[in-house]
Structure 1
Amino acid sequence: MIHKKMDTSATSTTAGSGEVTIKGTERSIMHSSTGNREFNIFVSKPQEEPPPSGYPVIYLLDANSVFGTMVEAVRLQSRRPEKSGVVPAIIVGIGYRTNGPFSSERYYDFTLPVAATELPERPDGSPWPAHGGAENFLKFIEEDLKPEIGNRYKIDHDSQTLFGHSLGGLFALYVLYTNPYAFKNYIAGSPSLHWNKNWFHEEEGTFLSRLKQGDGDISIMLGVGEQEGTHKSGMNENARELATRLSIIESGMNVQFKEFEEEGHLSVLPPLINRALRFALHRNVPGGE
């Protein structure tokens, strides 16, 4: 449960001083009911009243690095949804108690259990941090975080999106394969498929069975930066290959692959967020499909 809450929805300033915050946002500390994990939860709520169906929700991984970027993109673009394709939405960022943009804890939360001999080599040659906690992290989202958000806000349970980048993109695809109807939309940016590539091939049959047991369409977008194509991990090739395999599945899935010109692994995030917002929210625009 959430045991500490910091409301940053308003800022008081004196002449020439004052901390800058993002209007309409708040930050809370939340513990998982399993695994004894602690997370910083960032939430942005629209100023507009919710539609009859409730607000669409985007769950954002690595919130310490990209929460502000996504919140401001939604705030600006949702002013004219008929032009932008972006409607007001709740952004729920999952981050860590760090002042930096990333925490080493993400290696544990976003990755699947895998033998150390199968891990890719770390660029600086040092050992990887603890890894393999994706199953518990998904339980936290489904059993702890989603119910909390549903109790606090009027949300559209049929319009929920998961956004992850790099290892977060790997985790988004893990959720798609293990619990495909947990979200309506999946955004996997620069997914680190090289961490668990064999697992996705081995689980494809089970994934197809899960799809047949559910009802409704699912949308998946895989996005990479053009400059990532030279990375030895085969990031772009792996993502393009997976998008192709998913596209031929006859299950009502909408699959898109986008390579962003002249962008690298980190610079791809702002254009990816812009494209992801239209991809996830356009159906909520009056007249949208």
Structure 2
Amino acid sequence: MHVTIPNTERHKVEADYHNRAFQVDVYQPNSPVPDEGFPVIYLLDGNSTFSTVVDAVRLQSRRPERTEVHPAVVVAIGYPTEEPFSPERFYDYTLAEPEFDVRKKWGDREIPAHGGADTFMEFMENVLKPMIESKYSINKLKQTIFGHSLGGLFVLHALFTNSQAFQTYIAGSPSIHWNQTAILKERDQFMQGKPKLDKPISVLIAAGEREGNHASYMLENARQLTDELKDVPDLEASFQIYDNENHISVLPRLINQSLKIALK
């Protein structure tokens, strides 16, 4: 007997590059649709986070007057695999050539194809979002993107290059070291352009305490970037360290805090 998550549907969504087909799982609340539509959360690495996020939304949105978490549509952008992660994410979430220390880490192994973040962003904006908005009641003014690790790096790329695509950006343990030269160049262009945001946006950058010893300086890179973003008008940037958590165990706590920001 198969167990399913209530009120969910699975779609196969074709992309026009690399013969890519995404496994897109969507949860829609079993509650009256607000006049303006439901808020929506787009999850990167959807295979790894969908059920956790859906359960958190279902439970906490039952009493929004107490939790401040309101019902939302959850869209998990995943891959046709039973594994939590797919090697294809390396292409979809990264920018240019990785830094030397990352190449060295792989040793004799071949680094997966990478550098397709712009292409993946075009897919999200031109294919995925229109499809979701045609099938579900979406509030286009309350959209969140959630990514962790390489997904967190992509969230930063989306913020710096398309800051009006979402209103809330969640970057968990972002792999800034992977594309450090490229992502910091995008940061500089974003900051120097003195962005005038049509609507205030929220950014949460977070990491686990145990990531502080990582050779990539993941925690310090994230902290420093958050401090810099606090100078951007109409952008509310916050940084969170979760005590006693590592790169993977940080996810449930990050999800919980993200809902409080995205669905308040």
Same fold per superposition (TM over 0.5): yes
TM-aligned CA distance change 1:115 to 1:235, over 3 Å = closer
> Corresponding residue for 1:156?
139
Matched, 1:121 2:121: no
Q: Give the unaligned 5+ runs of structure 2.
A: none
- How far 1:124 sits from its partner (Å)? 6.2
TM-aligned CA distance change 1:274 to 1:245, over 3 Å = same
- In structure 2, distance between residues paired with 1:145 and 1:252: 27
> Corresponding residue for 2:114?
131
Write the letter of the residue equivalent to 2:67.
S
Query: How is 1:33-182 mapped onto 2 (pairs within 5 angstroms)?
Result: 33-114=16-97, 117=100, 119-122=102-105, 125-182=108-165
> Corresponding residue for 1:12?
none
Secondary structure of 1:212's aligned partner: coil
> Corresponding residue for 1:276?
258
Is the 2:99–2:179 Cα contact (8 Å) retained in structure 1?
Answer: no
Is the 1:189–1:224 Cα contact (8 Å) retained in structure 2?
Answer: yes
TM-aligned CA distance change 1:273 to 1:53, over 3 Å = same
Of 228, 241, 261, which aligns to 2:243?
A: 261
Matched, 1:30 2:44: no
Of 225, 234, 242, which aligns to 1:252?
A: 234
> Corresponding residue for 1:192?
175
TM-score, normalised relative to structure 2: 0.95
Is the 1:158–1:184 Cα contact (8 Å) retained in structure 2?
Answer: yes
- In structure 2, distance between residues paired with 1:212 and 1:115: 27
- How far 1:129 sits from its partner (Å)? 0.6
- In structure 2, distance between residues paired with 1:180 and 1:281: 19
TM-score, normalised relative to structure 1: 0.87
Q: CA RMSD in A?
A: 1.6
- How far 1:83 sits from its partner (Å)? 1.2
- How far 1:208 sits from its partner (Å)? 3.1
Is the 2:26–2:74 Cα contact (8 Å) retained in structure 1?
Answer: yes
- How far 1:154 sits from its partner (Å)? 1.2
Q: Which protein shows a greater Rg?
A: 1
- How far 1:216 sits from its partner (Å)? 1.2
Identity %: 47
